[in-house]
Amino acid sequence: AQSVTQLDSQVPVFEEAPVELRCNYSSSVSVYLFWYVQYPNQGLQLLLKYLSGSTLVESINGFEAEFNKSQTSFHLRKPSVHISDTAEYFCAVSGHGSSNTGKLIFGQGTTLQVKP
């Protein structure tokens, strides 16, 4: 079974400051890892994913996340945030194997509040 822990429920930060949203996971099998973003009254948008290969993955809007197997973490970072980054961010895991395919396990979410 897999589980995901997002260590901060809310992260307030000033515009143009750097931010890190923390995510730790637990799994008995190899995993795929994801970050999703949810804006108010909308569904989830895939921000970035780690499937295999390079442990550092990047999104088109400046976010990056690093898969750390030894620390079972997949923290999300951005060097300079904008007001428009204000949203809820979800870390998710999917395990390898037929019993886990197609099933995402989500963390409780982190609300990123960017202040002017």
Partner 1 sequence: KAGVTQTPRYLIKTRGQQVTLSCSPISGHRSVSWYQQTPGQGLQFLFEYFSETQRNKGNFPGRFSGRQFSNSRSEMNVSTLELGDSALYLCASSGGDRNIQYFGAGTRLSVL
The correct pick among 19, 48, 105, 114 for binding partner 1 (CB under 8 A) is 105
Note whether 74 binds partner 1 by CB under 8 A: no
Pairing of strands 105-106, 87-95: antiparallel
Q: How far is CA 41 from CA 21, 37, 68, 113, in A?
A: 22, 12, 32, 16
Stretch that binds partner 1, among 21-29, 62-70, 78-86, 99-107 (CB under 8 A): 99-107
Note whether 13 binds partner 1 by CB under 8 A: no
Note whether 28 binds partner 1 by CB under 8 A: no
**Opening angle at CA 47, ends 46 and 51, nearest 5:** 80
**Under 8 Å between Cβ of 65 and 55:** no
* Radius of gyration in angstroms for the set of CA atoms belonging to the chain, rounded to a whole number: 14
The SS3 assignment for 112 reads: strand
- Residues in 46-65 at the binding interface with partner 1, rule: CB under 8 A: 46, 49, 51
- 76 vs 109, beta carbon nearer partner 1: 109
Note whether 36 binds partner 1 by CB under 8 A: yes
Judged by the rule CB under 8 A, the positions of this chain that interact with partner 1 are: 32, 34, 36, 42-46, 49, 51, 90, 92, 94, 98-109
